[in-house]
Structure 1
Amino acid sequence: MNMSRRWLFAAAGALAMSVTAGAALAQSYKAEYKLSTVVGKPFPWGNAGERWGDLVRERTQGRINIKMYPGTSLVGGDQTKEFTALRQGTIDMAIGSTINWSPQIKELNLFSMPFLMPDHKAIDALTQGPVGKKIFELLAARDVEPLAWGENGFREVSNSKRAIRTPDDMKGLKLRVVGSPLFNDTFSALGANPTQMSWADAQPALSTGAVDGQENPLTIFTVAKLHTVGQKYVTLWGYVADPLIFVVNKTVWASWTPADQKIVREAAEQAAKENVVAARKGIVAGDDSVLKEIEGLGVTITRLSDAEFKAFQAATKPVYEKWSKQIGPDLVKTAEESIAKR
């Protein structure tokens, strides 16, 4: 056999192997990857999910097609079951709340410690520092691949009854909270009556007066038009924040090529950065447009003085100390040190 014929046979063999490998790759990829979020568009959280999917679809030329399922609809709306379903493979990907996943990962309760994070720089100090790295290590050991930190924002309290300026003002108020024991402890310590329910059930409950109020980031307040369901009073107290985490099921992650993994990770990082900007828009120094919008709806916004803020801290100190032990004193100490250095 002459050299030219050998070269042709070799080239044909290489082409056949390439086609076979390409077919195998195409077969191993799903036609659709299910992405779970608690809320959809036009909330910043939902926008982030759509943005992530769009970036991945574009950069992989459609090899990875992501469809967002808002309302945690893949788990019947039960937000606290999302992480378990993600581990089991019922959900392929998620942009999850540290609050909703805390029942399965106790360390995530750190972000719900009352009055731990005084400002956005404190959030960044945690998510972008040693605490964030530790959390990602914990997640990676639980069948998921963590990719990026997003943000749902500081959670402010609203209600239909009265302005809240002191812990005494909260006594007797029926307030919707997420399904976390730490939230129950915090609001019970303040004299309120916390009621756990999903966000899907919260708005009807507010409308009928089954609950008096709720706590959520202000972007939720404006987009969901909570002023139309009796929420006349908002107190800015920033008692906890809710970072979001972009993750992929470990088995799904392993099914992609290293090149596609890199694309998905970089797309998550970009979508997350855009999400953080959107979550903070209108509520930071120099841009209080969201606050003005809410006040323009006839809602009373209460801003706490330093002394008033410290009164809430004092009232919830026993809760802070109790949960520090449960979360892990070393992690809490690292968080406090990171915030102090910000």
Structure 2
Amino acid sequence: MKSIRYPTKLTAALAGAVLLCSAASAQAREFSVSTVLSDAFPWGQAAEKWAELVEERSEGRITLRVYPNSQLVAGDQTREFSAMRQGLIDMAIGSTINWSPQVPELNLFSLPFFMPDEAAVDAITGGEAGEMIFDAIESRGVVPLAWGENGFRQLSNSQGPIDEPADLEGLKIRVVGSPLFQDTFTALGANPTQMSWADAKPALTTGAVDGQENPLSVFDVARIDQVGQEHLTLWNYMNDPLIFAVNQQIWGSLPAEDQELLRQAAIDAGEWEIAMTREEESGRLAAIQERGVQVVELTDEQHQAFVEATRSVYEQWEPRIGEELVQTAREAIETR
């Protein structure tokens, strides 16, 4: 049987095509991205936007596969940072609250009534204090890229209106796994009950807990009013910025141009998500009220009563967070 001999030019062309395909395949990479919430919420939409921008700007060479609902850590959102540091998760858009057990500096944002408005949040994240926080994250094996926003957290319950600290006396309030939240609600006379978000709605449904605290976007999309949460207090007691981040080893394996692509896409996705979250606040509140939820908006005097009731929390937590960081953030707020 005669062997088939291809023309030299055709052979070279085929070989070249194979090499090009192999090179393209070698360069193509897929990474996991963890989030606590799905794309029904702004948080999840931020992850999808990041993935979309990276896919577009890399021309399909880099794919970010989003895993919502903390599924990569079996629903335990407080393990997300550790899992990313260990390389079990490539990337994440995480909450400062959920990551604070591993990065104490992130508790800055959970200090009760520390940030009075969105301008204060921006002054911190966009200034020296924000840089100090990013340095603290990077020192623990994770590279932070950009900020997003989960929003100011509001208080709801099934028992009645809350407009003074005494109204919280004895109420079981679901909180995330952060000791600072335990201390804050204990100072207010409540009975803080730690549980994951996956367990929170069933507990609210059965009455195992009386209330919870979350941004309006979560209250609205998750229809928390349908599980007995008929009373909502707007008290803006803390804000929960989100952080786009990458495992340090993954980051180090990327060429400089891909690092820049990922970082800029994260910055752009974060800015987009922050603007969207803030723009939707008034509409969400109106929708919540239309569903029959009774909303309390605190007067300045009522707000100050909550500030005074939680002042002792600062004495406990400033040293743990870092007095220099807290002071830097306070100065940023005062000069905003």
Q: Which runs of 5+ in 2 are unaligned?
A: 1-11
The residue aligned with 1:307 is 301
The residue aligned with 2:9 is none
The residue aligned with 1:6 is none
Within 2, Cα distance between the matches of 1:120 and 1:77?
Answer: 30
The residue aligned with 1:49 is 47
Deviations 1:127-167 (A, max 9, x none): 00111111111122222221100000000000011100000
- After TM superposition, give the deviation of residue 234 of structure 1 in Å: 0.5
- After TM superposition, give the deviation of residue 255 of structure 1 in Å: 2.1
2:26 maps to a residue whose letter is: Q
The residue aligned with 1:319 is 313
Within 1, Cα distance between the matches of 2:27 and 2:200?
Answer: 40
Aligned length: 322
- After TM superposition, give the deviation of residue 325 of structure 1 in Å: 1.5
Matched, 1:98 2:96: yes
Within 1, Cα distance between the matches of 2:180 and 2:197?
Answer: 18
1:316 maps to a residue whose letter is: T
Secondary structure in 2 matching 1:239: coil
Secondary structure in 1 matching 2:326: helix
The residue aligned with 1:271 is 269
Within 1, Cα distance between the matches of 2:28 and 2:240?
Answer: 32
CA contact (8 A) 2:27 2:61 kept: no
CA contact (8 A) 1:35 1:95 kept: yes
1:27 maps to a residue whose letter is: A
1:208 maps to a residue whose letter is: T
Deviations 1:21-67 (A, max 9, x none): x846743654x311000001110000000110011011112211111
CA contact (8 A) 2:109 2:238 kept: yes
Q: Which runs of 5+ in 1 are unaligned?
A: 1-11
Deviations 1:105-143 (A, max 9, x none): 110000000000000000000000111111111122222
The residue aligned with 1:27 is 26
CA contact (8 A) 1:29 1:256 kept: no
Q: For 1:138, which of 123, 133, 136 is the aligned residue?
A: 136
- After TM superposition, give the deviation of residue 322 of structure 1 in Å: 1.1
CA contact (8 A) 1:29 1:255 kept: no
Within 2, Cα distance between the matches of 1:57 and 1:231?
Answer: 40
Aligned-residue sequence identity (percent) comes to 55
Matched, 1:181 2:175: no
TM-score, normalised via structure 2 length: 0.92
CA contact (8 A) 1:28 1:255 kept: no
1:94 maps to a residue whose letter is: A
Secondary structure in 2 matching 1:238: coil
- After TM superposition, give the deviation of residue 169 of structure 1 in Å: 0.2
Say what the alpha-carbon RMSD is for the aligned residues: 1.7
The residue aligned with 1:289 is 283
Alignment of 1:142-221 (within 5 A): 142-221=140-219
